[in-house]
Structure 1
Amino acid sequence: MEFQSFLGFDRAVFEWIERTFFDRGISAVLTPVMAFITHLGDSGIFWIALAICLVIFKKTRKYGLILTVGLAFMLLLNDIILKPLIARPRPFDIAQWKDWFVYPEIISRPSGFSFPSGHTSCSFASATALTATKKKSVYILAFALAALIGFSRIYLHVHYCTDVLFGAVAGVIYGLAAICAVALITRLVSKYASKKA
């Protein structure tokens, strides 16, 4: 996939971050915060832990299953299929941008390809899955965290803005697919159980 047409936009976003946060000295406080937020998305650990907690309790088990299916879709389609297929290098692997990598002592350089952002896809898939709870406070907080994790990836220069934007869209699709899949499976199981009875 050719990304040359997006590089101007991606670079403009990086330059805006430099002007807004680094040139004004805000980064001294903000960078550790962004590192903490980005680590919440490492390997989907926060969302996996949440899914486990939801599955444990009968009242929330359905939502835990939806979240688990959304994460499985994300792993298969995003990380196993799309990333190797598209094979976009990370920003710090582009020669003219190598010096832009922020604070390597705070966050180690991630391995693998850049597009789409796995942290972002995972987070938006999870937030979308949580809309099944129909509790606005729950999914609004989830989407807010997903957006912060996505922004942290750009801020720390480990992803391009377009990686994150596409990752968010893909994540929403994975989450919606999970809701539909679990609803379909639930209907089929109920139908089979009623026939057997």
Structure 2
Amino acid sequence: MIHNAFLNPFDTTIYHLINGLAGRNALLDAVMIFFAKDALEIYAVLFIISWFILPKRDIHNRHALVMAGLSGIVALLINVVISHIWFRPRPFTVFQKGTYTALVSHSADASFPSDHTSGSFGFAAASWGKQQKWISYTFTILAVIVMFARVFVGVHYPTDVIGGCIVGIIASKIVWRFSRYVFPVTSMIAKMFRFGSEGHLINNDSTTDRHTL
């Protein structure tokens, strides 16, 4: 495993710029803490809500939801591999006390890439061009907020969340390559809730071109 605590000017400057906003407004702090800590749980709730309010026969957008969930999981698995190859210490273990504001407690595990950001962008990117716009926009806006919040609360460098964003997008590309193999599972689950219709078929582009952002 490679350990690297090297500080570059970009991370140092942007980290202190964003984290420097913490501790000034109690409401803003509370909002950022909420999104920084509970992002993946929020996506789970949004997944369930979207699943049940989509039109009853809409199997394709439900499939896109399943793919988004899988993309988030794959993104986290990619992060496990990266963190075991290259270990970057958290900023609160590198910067001197008094030079940053820590709004949440966190273990001193690998900082790069950000799991919350990777999972969030895995969800979001997998919905781009393949999901109803209101769902895709919601997932994406939330991912951007999470990206900012993780730096705001003091647990990640800017490049940690940028790296997480890239991992999430890559994960979405990987997952959609296996869409045709996952669709039968989506169909089976949908039928359990009496969603979809009989005789649904899927091809390589059936869920790709239905909706565009």
TM-score normalised according to structure 2 size: 0.71
Structure 2 gap ranges (5+): 185-200, 203-213
Please give the alpha-carbon distance, in whole angstroms, between the structure 2 residues aligned to 1:50 and 1:134: 13
CA–CA distance in structure 2, aligned partners of residues 126 and 169 of structure 1: 12
Number of the residue aligned with 1:144: 141
CA distance in 1, matches of 2:177, 2:99: 42
User: What residue is the counterpart of 2:197 in the other structure?
Assistant: none
Does the CA contact (< 8 Å) of 1:91 and 1:98 recur in 2?
no
Are the aligned partners of 2:113 and 2:161 in contact in 1 as well (CA < 8 Å)? yes
Of all paired residues, the percent bearing the same amino acid is: 26
The total of aligned residue pairs comes to 180
CA distance in 2, matches of 1:91, 1:18: 11
Is 2:30 the partner of 1:32? yes
Show the counterpart of 1:45. 41
Q: Which amino acid aligns with 1:144?
A: I
Which sits farther off after the overlay, 151-160 or 9-18?
9-18
CA distance in 2, matches of 1:179, 1:50: 20
Note the 1:39-78 alignment, pairs <5 A: 39-41=37-39, 44-52=40-48, 59=58, 60-78=61-79
Gaps of 5+ in 1: 192-197
Q: Distance in 1 between matches of 2:50 and 2:28?
A: 32
Question: Higher helix fraction: Structure 1 or Structure 2?
Answer: 1
- 1:12 counterpart letter in structure 2: T
TM-score, length basis structure 1: 0.76
**Would the alpha carbon gap of residues 49 and 178 (structure 1) be closer, same or farther in structure 2, given more than 3 Å must change?**
farther
Q: CA offset at residue 33 of structure 1?
A: 1.3
